[in-house]
Each structure stands twice: as structure tokens, then as C-alpha cells.
């Protein structure tokens, strides 16, 4: 049975993380991928990666206002949802159950159905509100995965460093991948 994964891209800096994740997920035939991109996410992706990234996404994409997407309902929940990169505003709405767009509604459904929610937060430094929202999501069953690259593997490029986060996200999803291991 195929895993259903929703990848949501918000307006935080770090579009490279979303691009690298989607590039890696193309290699897995046993996964159905759906992509949601917020309006601000589109703008940041275009600024950071150029217009080609958005037009070359090979997975089904959904408008962030489309509440008719199947995974917006508990009767057709995703197995895993990854918000990458995740803005603090999106984190706050998810933490407080504000389902005012498809990304937040889908995250709400994933949490209520006890499925896996991974938020790759991209902010520095954190204020107390951010930390409390991360605590709230963690208590609800979500996983906070800061976009903090590791350097054990001695990355030589920015892409190598960013891929350390992607490998970690794939590990959190239970997806086998060839990444640096101790």
C-alpha cells in the first residue's frame, strides 16, 4: 500500500529544502505525493529558486484555499504531512487549531487522526511565543524539525548542508535513504 504524503511549502526562507525534498521523493514509487504552496511560499520560491522550480513540480499541487482536497478531511487523511519550510505564522495557526487555509486544515486533520506531522521550522532566533507554539504542536503529537544543518558529514556546498536536513526528514518519515551515518 502506498504512503500518502502531503508536502506544504510556506513563505519562510529556505525554499531549497522543499526543492531538495521533492527531488528526493521522485525516486520512490511507493509514495503518493501532494503539494500545497501558500501564496507567500510561491513568492519566496520564485525569489530564491527562480520561476522554473514552481512550473517543474512533477506532483499534483493544490491551492492553499482549496478545502476540497481529499486530505482536508479525516475520512481521507494523509499518512504524513511535512511543512517545509514552515513559517512561525503557520506554526502558530497549527498550534492553536486555526484552520483558515488548506495547509493548516490538513495539519489539523493529520494531528487529530494521530498521523505524522513534521514541521521544518525556519526562523532564528526563536521568541517565547515560537517556543510555546512548538511545545503545543509537540504535545499534540507533531514533530518540530528545525532547519539546522549538521556538519558531521563535512558538507562542501550549501546543497550538501541542506541535504542533511532532508535526510533527517526522510528518516522521520520512515523512508530509507542513503545519508551520512556515524
- Mean pLDDT for the chain? 95
The percent helix, strand, coil of the chain (3-state, each to 5) is 45, 20, 40
The grid coordinates listed for 96 are: 492553536
Residue 170 has pLDDT above 90, yes or no: yes
Question: What per-residue confidence (pLDDT) applies to 182?
Answer: 64
With 80 as the cut, is the pLDDT of residue 43 above it? yes
Q: Which of 89, 105, 102, 108 is nearest to 35 (CA)?
A: 102
d(CA 133, CA 151): 28
The separation between the first and the last C-alpha atoms of the chain, rounded to the nearest angstrom, is 32
- As a whole number of angstroms, the distance between CA 45 and CA 10 comes to 9
**Stretch 144-162: mean pLDDT, rounded?**
95
What pLDDT sits at residue 100? 96
% of the chain surpassing 90 pLDDT: 89
Calpha distance 23→163 (Å, rounded) = 11
Specify the pLDDT at position 14. Answer: 97
Q: Would you list the domain boundaries of the chain?
A: 3-173
pLDDT tens-digit readout, 74-87: 888 799 999 999 99
Q: Which CATH superfamily is domain 3-173 in?
A: Flavin prenyltransferase-like (3.40.50.1950)
* DSSP secondary structure of 80-121: EEEEEEE-HHHHHHHHTT---SHHHHHHHHHHHTT-EEEEEE
Amino acid at each position: 500500500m502506498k504512503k500518502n504524503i502531503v508536502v506544504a511549502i510556506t513563505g519562510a526562507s529556505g525554499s531549497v529544502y522543499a526543492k531538495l525534498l521533492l527531488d528526493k521523493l521522485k525516486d520512490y514509487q511507493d509514495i503518493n505525493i501532494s503539494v500545497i504552496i501558500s501564496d507567500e511560499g510561491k513568492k519566496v520560491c520564485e525569489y530564491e529558486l527562480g520561476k522554473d522550480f514552481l512550473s517543474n513540480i512533477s506532483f499534483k499541487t493544490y491551492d492553499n484555499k482549496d478545502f476540497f482536497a481529499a486530505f482536508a478531511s479525516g475520512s481521507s487523511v494523509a499518512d504524513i504531512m511535512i511543512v517545509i519550510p514552515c513559517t512561525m505564522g503557520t506554526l502558530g495557526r497549527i498550534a492553536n487549531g486555526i484552520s483558515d487555509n488548506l495547509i493548516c486544515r490538513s495539519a489539523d486533520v493529520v494531528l487529530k487522526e494521530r498521523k505524522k506531522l513534521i514541521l521544518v521550522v525556519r526562523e532564528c532566533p526563536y521568541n517565547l511565543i515560537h517556543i510555546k507554539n512548538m511545545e503545543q504542536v509537540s504535545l499534540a503529537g507533531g514533530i518540530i524539525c528545525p532547519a539546522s544543518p549538521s556538519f558531521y558529514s563535512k558538507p562542501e556546498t550549501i546543497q550538501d548542508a541542506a541535504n542533511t536536513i532532508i535526510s533527517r526528514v526522510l528518516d522521520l518519515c520512515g523512508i530509507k535513504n542513503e545519508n551520512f551515518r556515524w
